[in-house]
């Protein structure tokens, strides 16, 4: 170890370290700067946003942009819808994934291999956008929130990872419960699920973030703009730059056209940032156990 210190402290070693530390700091700053600007700008006045191209502290602090978006009916509606769909969708998707993963983990179950192959084939090949759309349409789910939840009810990769997790589950525990006369469903509900809380929490986050961020399903399945989720509204405000996207009932009032873009990005990012510490911890693990072999 002393050798290591000695050599690290040579001149070329120190120069490399310095350059490396600076380079990584630049990488971190480049990542963060857009957020800092968006947060700062969301609290700035329209005239300042027009005058200054970039700043990290606004000269005049104002809540005008937030006041405007939070009085917009379209915005409030989309937030309520998105939170509702995320909550219900996460619960539904967890239910579908965990109930299927548990029996598939039982090596003695007849038909297990066939079902696993059905799942794996669905990972390789899909009907594609249009045939899936026609199924959703045929079920009468267009313009319903179920269209944002059910077509993605099981992510096959998640299913396989959870199945592998259950395969490593303590057999003795289940055997002793069986001797006590518990049925398979009782064991699943009262013993297996309570002991799987960490993995349930992890996949709840997986699904919740995926639903919150989902752009394609609402684009495909929601025609009625009064049913839009936050991602669709976000696109209308920030990318299509539609100044009337959030509505304006008062003809004398000029909405903060730039500020509202920044504020809505802040609001859409906030929940992700709030769960980010957990995401970082669990996703990194999930990625590395993400083997499909079973």
Partner 1 sequence: MKALLLQKANKQLPRKTFVEIVKQMWLRDKWLYVLLIPGVLYFLVFRYAPMYGIIIAFKNYVPYLGITESSWVGLDHFTAFFSSPDFLRLLGNTLWISFLSIAIAFPAPIFLAILLNEVRFALYKKFVQTCIYIPHFLSWTIVVGLTHLLFSINGGVIVEMVETIFGIRINFLAEPEWFRPMIILQGIWKGTGWGTIIFLAALANVSSEQYEAAIVDGAGRFRRIWHITLPAIRGTVVIMLILTMGNVLSTGFDQIFLMTNSLNRSVADVFDTYVYNVGITRGSYSYSTAVGLFKSIVGIILILTTDFIAKKVDKESGLF
Return the residues of window 206-265 that contact partner 1 according to CB under 8 A. 209, 212-216, 219-220, 231, 234-235, 237-239, 241, 261-262, 265
Closer by beta carbon to partner 1, 124 or else 171: 124
Closer by beta carbon to partner 1, 45 or else 231: 231
CA dist., res. 281 & res. 259, Å (int): 33
116 to 145, contacts with partner 1 by CB under 8 A? 118-120, 122, 124-135, 139
CA dist., res. 40 & res. 57, Å (int): 6
Q: How far is the CB of 115 from partner 1 (least distance, A)?
A: 7
Candidates 99, 176, 226, 244: give the one binding partner 1 (CB under 8 A).
99
List, in sequence order, the alpha helices (H) in 44-111.
46-51, 64-71, 73-104
Q: How far is the CB of 250 from partner 1 (least distance, A)?
A: 25
4 binds partner 1 (CB under 8 A): yes
CA dist., res. 153 & res. 180, Å (int): 34
Q: Is residue 96 a contact partner of residue 159, using CB atoms and an 8 Å limit?
A: no
171 binds partner 1 (CB under 8 A): no
CA dist., res. 226 & res. 207, Å (int): 24
102 binds partner 1 (CB under 8 A): yes
Q: Is residue 206 a contact partner of residue 158, using CB atoms and an 8 Å limit?
A: yes
Candidates 56, 80, 109, 195: give the one binding partner 1 (CB under 8 A).
109
Q: How far is the CB of 182 from partner 1 (least distance, A)?
A: 10
Q: Is residue 261 a contact partner of residue 237, using CB atoms and an 8 Å limit?
A: yes
């Amino acid at each position: 170890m002393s050798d290591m210190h000695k050599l690290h402290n040579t001149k070329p070693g120190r120069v490399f370290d310095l350059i490396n530390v600076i380079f990584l700091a630049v990488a971190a700053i480049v990542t963060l700067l857009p957020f800092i600007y968006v947060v700062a700008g969301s609290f700035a006045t329209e005239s300042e946003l027009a005058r200054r191209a970039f700043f990290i502290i606004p000269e005049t602090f104002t809540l005008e942009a937030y006041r405007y978006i939070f009085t917009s009916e379209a915005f409030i509606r989309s937030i309520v819808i998105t939170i509702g769909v995320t909550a219900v969708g996460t619960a539904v998707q967890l239910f579908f994934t965990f109930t299927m993963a548990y029996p598939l983990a039982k090596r003695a179950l007849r038909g297990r291999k066939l079902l696993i192959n059905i799942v794996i084939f669905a990972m390789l090949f899909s009907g594609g956008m249009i045939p899936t759309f026609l199924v959703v349409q045929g079920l009468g789910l267009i313009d319903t929130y179920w269209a944002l939840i059910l077509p993605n009810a099981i992510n096959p990769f998640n299913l396989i990872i959870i199945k592998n997790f259950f395969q490593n589950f303590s057999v003795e525990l289940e055997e002793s419960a069986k001797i006590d006369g518990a049925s398979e469903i009782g064991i699943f509900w009262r013993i297996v699920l309570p002991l799987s809380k960490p993995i349930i929490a992890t996949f709840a986050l997986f699904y919740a973030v995926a639903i919150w961020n989902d752009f394609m399903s609402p684009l495909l399945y929601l025609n009625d703009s009064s049913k839009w989720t936050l991602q669709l509204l976000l696109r209308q405000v920030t990318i299509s730059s539609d100044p009337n996207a959030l509505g304006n009932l008062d003809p004398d009032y000029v909405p903060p056209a730039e500020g509202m873009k920044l504020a809505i990005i802040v609001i859409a990012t906030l929940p992700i940032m709030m769960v980010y510490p957990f995401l970082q911890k669990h996703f990194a693990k999930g990625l590395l156990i993400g083997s499909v072999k079973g």
